[in-house]
Amino acid sequence: MRERSAAIMKHMSSETCNKILQSLREELDHPDDISKKLKVVRQTVDWHLLRLSALGIVDRIPISSLSGRPKIIYRLSKDGENMIDTIDDAVFKHYSKIKKAYQDDIKDLDMKLAMGQISEDAYKEKIKKTEKDLGILNGSGSTK
């Protein structure tokens, strides 16, 4: 089970994969349309879609075309939609919990400074680290 989860998370951690999934949520369903929207070569889109299909996150749907050769479109599978919604919910809950913990840390540091329990230099150093961590949590910070 964990190996499958790791495989799915590894693939879904790709920025291109995330953009493709977002495009599918917006009803773009043909690789050409997705490729044009994302300004990514078609082969890259195909590569991701085939893997997402193998992982059960998207469904490949052949539809008939005038040329006689079926056109393949992609849609998020029901399981894929449920999984993404579950991940979104879990991430939001985690984010909210961690953000509150950082905010509580800042309030605690403010109180300690006001009560003279820590020096101003120690306060500034801890606040700087906490704000850096908050920036990382918000997706705008660096880990350096």
pLDDT value of residue 6: 85
Per the document, the length of the chain is 144
Backbone angles phi, psi at 141, to 5 degrees: -95, 165
Residue 102 sits in the same domain as residue 43? no
Compute how many other C-beta atoms are within 10 angstroms of the C-beta atom of residue 25: 13
Residue 121: which domain range? Answer: 82-137
Residue 53 sits in the same domain as residue 72? yes
129 falls within a domain: yes
Residue 100 sits in the same domain as residue 133? yes
63 has which bridge partners? 71
- Taking phi first (over 0 means left), then psi (-120 to 50 degrees means alpha), and beta for anything else, what does residue 63 get? beta
Residue 86 sits in the same domain as residue 68? no
pLDDT at 93 over 90: yes
**Rounded mean pLDDT, 98-102:** 91
68 falls within a domain: yes
DSSP states along 65-118: -TTSSPEEEEEE-HHHHHHHHHHHHHHHHHHHHHHHHHHHHHHHHHHHHHTTSS
pLDDT value of residue 57: 93
Work out the mean pLDDT of the chain and round it to a whole number.
89
More reliable by pLDDT, 82 or 4: 82
Residue 102 sits in the same domain as residue 48? no
143 falls within a domain: no
SS3 category, 142? coil
pLDDT at 143 over 60: no
SS3 category, 140? coil
SS3 category, 62? strand
pLDDT value of residue 8: 83
Instruction: Summarize pLDDT for 31-80 with one digit per residue, the tens.
Output: 999 999 999 999 999 999 999 999 899 999 998 878 778 888 999 999 99
